[in-house]
Amino acid sequence: AAPGRKSGRGGLVAAVLVAALLAGGVGGGLGYSLAKDDDGATDSTTVSASGGGGDFKRDAGTVAGVATAALPSTVTIEAESSSGEGGTGTGFVFDKQGHILTNNHVVAEAVDGGKLSATFPNGKKYNAEVVGHAQGYDVAVIKLKNAPSDLKPLPLGDSDKVAVGDSTIAIGAPFGLSNTVTTGIISAKNRPVASSDGSASSKASYMSALQTDASINPGNSGGPLLDAKGSVIGINSAIQSTSGGGLGGQSQSGSIGLGFAIPVNQAKYVAQQLIKTGKPVYAKIGASVSLEEGTDGAKISEKGVSNSDAVEAGGPADKAGLKPGDVITKLDDLVIDSGPTLIGEIWTHKPGDTVELTYTRDGKTRTADVTLGSRQGDS
């Protein structure tokens, strides 16, 4: 997950592990301690079960069955910049051609001349390259070099059909402990989340997220959030943080049961665009909105970026009659409580989609149908 900020709800941190722990060292230490405790064991009588835990078949619908099927298609990603800085995250097989789907903040260090690798649970490690990355969506696609011919893409579910209370299974590398499986439920849908990786140069990513209480920690970022059938319903991306320190600080927060995932329907669309052109495509209304809190909606700014017009001349908002100072309070039936919420919801749509915006002007409520435009790239 990525370190970041969640609009009006405290800090969110991306679950990317900035300094990976040595999993072997941790496991070795624990094993030694436990073995040492047994050194002075006295006589005792034990009873063995008739069948060991490994003797029976794990049914497809069980957590063990889902994990057994999905783990071979997940990878632990290590990204290193040209200056030697790096982090650890997770990804999963998207197609048979060797494309791996993950978070942008997981691979950001390796975009400009850095090193990138992906390791499967069986220990096989492959060098990789970034095919395309979308900072705003926090989605990236990498491709394995000399990819094996027996790759098994994880099946993609339908995140629009997910219901609150549905079971979830997350796979990732929390704090460098690769191939970790955790479980939970869908706690909420359409959570407005703005997150960043905690670095000074980082820009926020916006999502209308699936919230889950499955344990997600630094290093889980980019990993799959699965449903009970083993289909991917989201990409684990951010966690709520209770500390002031981001991932780039002196401490890293762990799970408090508030994890957030990019819905897979959106991630799939973005990934396909990245594979096709290498650049993301964003839906837009052609208006700049305030990112401040306490506006009770998304307020169209008086001025845009670098003193440009807040409402793009001839753009979708302009054609629909919106003006600076208007406060957008709903998109279709969804309540909009801030600028980041509006951005995240617009980005769940595709250019050319028509949405109904409810807004207030001079104390009066109005509606307008807006046909979304498009913007290519993160600039």
> Which one, of 151, 140, 143, 97, lies nearest residue 117 by Cα?
143
Catalytic pick among 7, 73, 99, 105: 105
Catalytic pick among 7, 178, 221, 237: 221
Which pTM does this prediction carry?
Answer: 0.82
Start-end of H helices in the chain: 23-37, 63-70, 104-107, 264-277, 316-319, 339-346
Q: List domains and CATH numbers for the chain.
A: 4-16+155-268 (2.40.10.10), 281-376 (2.30.42.10)
Catalytic pick among 138, 197, 213, 337: 138
First to last CA, the chain: 23
> Which one, of 214, 175, 218, 196, lies nearest residue 16 by Cα?
218
Per-residue pLDDT of 322-354, as tens digits, reads 999 999 999 999 999 999 999 999 999 999 999
Q: What are phi and psi of 279, to 5 degrees?
A: -130, 145
Does the annotation mark 221 as catalytic? yes
Does the annotation mark 105 as catalytic? yes
For residue 202, the model assigns a pLDDT of: 61
The Cα–Cα gap between 238 and 255 comes to 10
The Cα–Cα gap between 1 and 129 comes to 21
Higher pLDDT, 310 or 38: 310
Does the annotation mark 231 as catalytic? no
Higher pLDDT, 309 or 23: 309
pLDDT band with cut points at 50, 70 and 90 for residue 16: very low
